[in-house]
Amino acid sequence: MGGIGITELLIIAAIVVLLFGTKKLRSMGSDLGSAVKGFRKAMDEEPEEAKREKPDEVQPKSASSAQNHQDKE
């Protein structure tokens, strides 16, 4: 009880096909596939750009410069 069975899924699928039609569903499927492909391509390109644009490592402040900052206050 409480779960969606295979018969319920088939009924829902039949209603969706009746509402939208097979042409519309095919075009929506191909559009979704293109969007996923573009998203994956963008995700693969992002680390390469991040490596190229990475700024130089910031050197940690020494204890003496931190002490000088406290003395000024």
Rounded (to 5) percent helix, strand, coil in the chain: 75, 0, 25
> In this predicted model, what pLDDT tens digit does every residue of 25-61 receive, in sequence order?
899 999 999 999 999 998 888 766 666 666 555 555 6
pLDDT value for 56: 58
Environment class of 13 (CB within 10 Å of its CB; exposed 0-12, middle 13-18, buried 19+): exposed
Taking the whole predicted model, whether its pTM rises above 0.85 is answered as no
Residue 64 pLDDT > 70, yes or no? Answer: no
Question: Average pLDDT in the 15-31 region?
Answer: 91
Residue 17 pLDDT > 60, yes or no? Answer: yes
For 45, the token pair is: 């390109």
